[in-house]
Amino acid sequence: MPQETTASPIGRDTPRIDGPLKVTGVAQYASDFHFPGLLYGVPVEATIANRKITKLDTAVAEKMPGVHAILYRQNIGKIFRSTLGKGVNGICIERRPPFDDDIIRYYGQYVALAVADTFESAKAAADAVVVSYAKEKPNVEDKLTADDDPDEVMTSYGPEKRLQSERGDASGAFASAPVKLDQTYVTPAETHVPIELQGTTAMWDGDHLNIYEESQAVFNMRTVLAQMFGLREENVRVITKFVGSGFGSKLWPWTHCPLAVAAARQVGKPVKLVLSRKMTFQSAGHRARTQQRVRLGATPEGKLVSLEHDYVCERSMLEEYHENCGEATAFHYSVPNLRVHFGWARRNIGTPSDMRGPGAVPGLYATESAMNELADQLKMDPVQLRILNEPKIDEGERIPFSSRHYVECLQFGAEKFRWSRRNAEVGAMKRDGLTLGWGVAGAAWIATRDSAAANVELRDDGSARVACGAQDIRTGTYTVLALLTADKAGVPVEKVEVVLGDTTLPLGPVSGGSQATASVVPAVFAAADNAITILLNAATTTPGSPFENRKPDDLAFEGGRVFVKADGPGGGVPFAEILKRANLRRVTGSGRSEGIVGSKEKPKFSIHSYGCHFAEVTWQPEIARLRVNRVVTVTDAGRVINPLAGRNQIEGAVVMGIGMALLEHTTYDPQNGAPINSNLADYIVAVNADVPKLEVHFLDYPDLELNAVGARGIGEIGLAGIAAAITVATYRATGVRVRELPIKVEDLLTSSILT
């Protein structure tokens, strides 16, 4: 019998390899690093949201104990603007260098920075800076009407046409459609609120700059900061060892980063600047408010004939961030006539940015809600309506899908949820004195690959090491790299050392857009293959090696052992033996793969993940109490490398979706433009008590168009659609259609199901 080789750990539930470091407090987050002579920076926040500074008085602050500097426009020194590069590079959602002018465009905009020996002294000095303003009433109006913008606009990611997709004659087909739905859905501003606050520690060493930052994209941050300070990229190092979640808020550099760097330059010492929770609501991104009109035309049998998705999203006065609600609209269902169009409404708010499932999450809330309402109008099962409109190809791009199993998601989910027992009549389902409501919604999220490189080492003690400048934003990237390397090197997972989060390592992908995992697969595999090639060469050239005088081509490597191909793996020799014989501590291979993000070539396949959610709510009319009671989620995300972490990602996203449906809402004060609920007591997110048992299933269809493992991303797909499933379930239980998130208890007081 052939000797057993180590079975691949890919696809096996694997606890995170970095877990013990975190629970024992060994893991160092960006602001845990301390340096001799370190000073603290605390920004002064504008207390108006519109117009300008007339006077900035720093006299008292400068004389306070422990204060090293008060920085403002006239003394901060030169900070350049940055520009967008090719692919995922040079991205900065708020490009205006800090203190660039005296104009105030949003509440909390930084107007000065106090630098002192201790955080407390810096805070006291920041509070002692006296700022006078000329102010106007800010525009933080909730109702969004599109501004007058040209048909093609420049966005934070490059130029875009406001008419995003069009085929056939959507308005003509809608006008003559036998069944019509025309509704507007609103999603609020939401804030990311990761547990770890944003912060930068900056240190200069001559013309070299070192940054500790909780970044989701260290290489992009390096590019942007190099540009802002006129440095060569190789003179800037960004380090991110652990991230206490980001949800998109840490993807791109915010204004506090160049502020910390400029302060360190000025005082000649390391400077640490960590935001307060309040500041993160003002100046570190949020999900833009959206208002989306969806028009559906259908035949009485439920075949879609027209789909129009017209939306307006808020943007800041400074920047052109586009909340791309139309991301999934053009391909998700088969419809001959379609039009997707967007507009912007400028507001005196901090710049919105990517938040978990940007665009598609609010977009699918609207379009999936409309599908549910259409099903009710047609008196059809909403699962059947979706299946009936399943497309054969991506009708928006007119290309085939790489791997789409949306119908199977719906069917499998329906079976697990026992959907066939549904009674569609409002208020008809009861259990234990509670009224039940059931709902369903579909999901899609883009799957793509960023450029990535990695080094893989095989070592003479039988261990391996993989290095890549990717980040683990708590999604399990350390473990994914360990699994990929263990698979190729044929060593146990615990024998793989993983090094991440540093721009001195090979180029890592962005940890965003659910693309990190898919991106690192080809780079790690190529690096491992190269290491193995070097090993096989050593095996054939080392005197006394069992393979001496063989050709490398005659040899194979599998399960950590080298053997002669013709003999099969039975008589193999462990790679550690070969290295020891050859007196090599290690062999190192490098690998790199180009991304498909930002590629100019038209893609051959439409690559996305799919999914659906089935939700049950309970309604207790006597006390107007609505609870999410049960959720079944099915996800088609290709091959899942670590199902344990994968389920955890989907569960986390569903928890966030419960918050999106019922709780989350950043509210702006109409008087001064401040986000009012800018703290964790008033900005309510779903917590354990809000969350029922979640059932998560994956289909297992490897998507080999994306990489050799067939893995797509799973970080964001779980948040798409869930709010639409909960709102329609709420309608079934209460009789109230809520089309503006979050559902508030006062919305439900009009329920006819009150007894």
Q: Which is nearer to ligand MOS, 129 or 510 (CB)?
A: 510
Query: Who's near 653: CB < 8 A, 6+ residues apart?
Result: 356, 357, 715, 716, 717, 718, 719, 722
**And the tokens for 272?**
């640490």
Closest distance between ligand MOS and the C-beta of residue 281, in Å? 17
Q: Which is nearer to ligand MOS, 258 or 513 (CB)?
A: 513
Closest distance between ligand MOS and the C-beta of residue 215, in Å? 11
Q: Which of 242, 138, 59, 192 is nearest to 652 (CA)?
A: 192
Stretch that binds ligand MOS, among 34-42, 242-250, 488-496, 615-623 (CB under 6 A): 242-250
As a whole number of angstroms, the distance between CA 385 and CA 332 comes to 13
Q: Does 295 bind ligand MOS (CB under 6 A)?
A: no
Q: Does 194 bind ligand MOS (CB under 6 A)?
A: no
User: 630-643: b or e for each residue (b if 16 or more CB lie within 10 Å)?
Assistant: bbbbbbbbbbbbbb
Q: Which is nearer to ligand MOS, 245 or 367 (CB)?
A: 245
User: 223-262: b or e for each residue (b if 16 or more CB lie within 10 Å)?
Assistant: bbbbbbbebeeebbbbbbbbbbbbbbbbbbbbbbbbbbbb
**And the tokens for 270?**
């390391």
Q: Which is nearer to ligand MOS, 246 or 382 (CB)?
A: 246
Q: Which is nearer to ligand MOS, 91 or 641 (CB)?
A: 91
Q: Which is nearer to ligand MOS, 240 or 545 (CB)?
A: 240
Q: Which of 326, 234, 244, 224 is nearest to 31 (CA)?
A: 244
Q: Does 51 bind ligand MOS (CB under 6 A)?
A: no
The single residue among 51, 237, 356, 732 that binds ligand MOS, judged by CB under 6 A, is 356
Q: Which is nearer to ligand MOS, 251 or 628 (CB)?
A: 251
Closest distance between ligand MOS and the C-beta of residue 358, in Å? 5
Closest distance between ligand MOS and the C-beta of residue 656, in Å? 11
**# binding residues, ligand MOS (CB under 6 A):** 11
DSSP 39-81: EEEEEEEPS-SSEEEEEEE-HHHHTSTTEEEEE-TTTS-----
If 0-12 CB within 10 Å is exposed, 13-18 middle and 19+ buried, where does residue 732 land?
A: buried
Q: Does 246 bind ligand MOS (CB under 6 A)?
A: yes
φ, ψ of residue 94 in degrees (nearest 5): -125, 95
Closest distance between ligand MOS and the C-beta of residue 219, in Å? 15
DSSP 257-306: HHHHHHHHHHHTS-EEEE--HHHHHHHS--BPPEEEEEEEEE-TT--EEE
Q: Which is nearer to ligand MOS, 325 or 383 (CB)?
A: 325
Assign 3-class secondary structure to 479-520.
HHHHHHHHHHHCCCHHHEEEECCECCCCECCCCCCCCHHHHH
- Bridge partners of residue 702, in order along the sequence: none
Q: Which is nearer to ligand MOS, 321 or 331 (CB)?
A: 321
- Catalytic residue, chosen from 234, 622, 716, 746, is 716
**And the tokens for 746?**
């006062």
Q: Does 355 bind ligand MOS (CB under 6 A)?
A: yes
Say whether 346 sits in a helix, a strand or coil: strand
Q: Which of 743, 715, 732 is nearest to 246 (CA)?
A: 715
Q: Does 362 bind ligand MOS (CB under 6 A)?
A: no
The single residue among 138, 258, 352, 512 that binds ligand MOS, judged by CB under 6 A, is 512
Q: Does 513 bind ligand MOS (CB under 6 A)?
A: yes
Dmax over CA atoms of the chain, in Å, equals 88
Stretch that binds ligand MOS, among 254-262, 348-356, 518-526, 680-688 (CB under 6 A): 348-356
Closest distance between ligand MOS and the C-beta of residue 716, in Å? 6
The single residue among 297, 358, 469, 506 that binds ligand MOS, judged by CB under 6 A, is 358
Query: Who's near 141: CB < 8 A, 6+ residues apart?
Result: 345, 347, 670
Closest distance between ligand MOS and the C-beta of residue 192, in Å? 8
Closest distance between ligand MOS and the C-beta of residue 723, in Å? 16
The single residue among 308, 354, 368, 616 that binds ligand MOS, judged by CB under 6 A, is 354
Q: Which is nearer to ligand MOS, 286 or 332 (CB)?
A: 286
Instruction: Tell me how crowded residue 313 is: count the other CB atoms within 10 A of its CB.
Output: 26
Tell me what percent of the chain is helix, strand and coil, each rounded to the nearest 5: 30, 25, 45
Q: Which of 590, 574, 484 is nearest to 534 (CA)?
A: 590
As a whole number of angstroms, the distance between CA 191 and CA 450 comes to 26
Closest distance between ligand MOS and the C-beta of residue 324, in Å? 11
Q: Does 251 bind ligand MOS (CB under 6 A)?
A: yes
Give the strand pairing for 496-499 and 464-467.
parallel
Q: Which is nearer to ligand MOS, 251 or 660 (CB)?
A: 251
Stretch that binds ligand MOS, among 32-40, 350-358, 386-394, 660-668 (CB under 6 A): 350-358
Q: Does 675 bind ligand MOS (CB under 6 A)?
A: no
Annotated catalytic, 716? yes
Stretch that binds ligand MOS, among 142-150, 349-357, 517-525, 540-548 (CB under 6 A): 349-357
Site for ligand MOS in 563-582 (CB under 6 A): none
User: 648-678: b or e for each residue (b if 16 or more CB lie within 10 Å)?
Assistant: bbbbbbbbbbbbbbbbbbbbbeeebbbbebb
Closest distance between ligand MOS and the C-beta of residue 431, in Å? 37
Closest distance between ligand MOS and the C-beta of residue 253, in Å? 14
Stretch that binds ligand MOS, among 240-248, 361-369, 521-529, 585-593 (CB under 6 A): 240-248
The single residue among 248, 297, 343, 442 that binds ligand MOS, judged by CB under 6 A, is 248
| Active-site annotation, residues | 716
Residues that bind ligand MOS (CB under 6 A): 216, 246-248, 251, 354-356, 358, 512-513
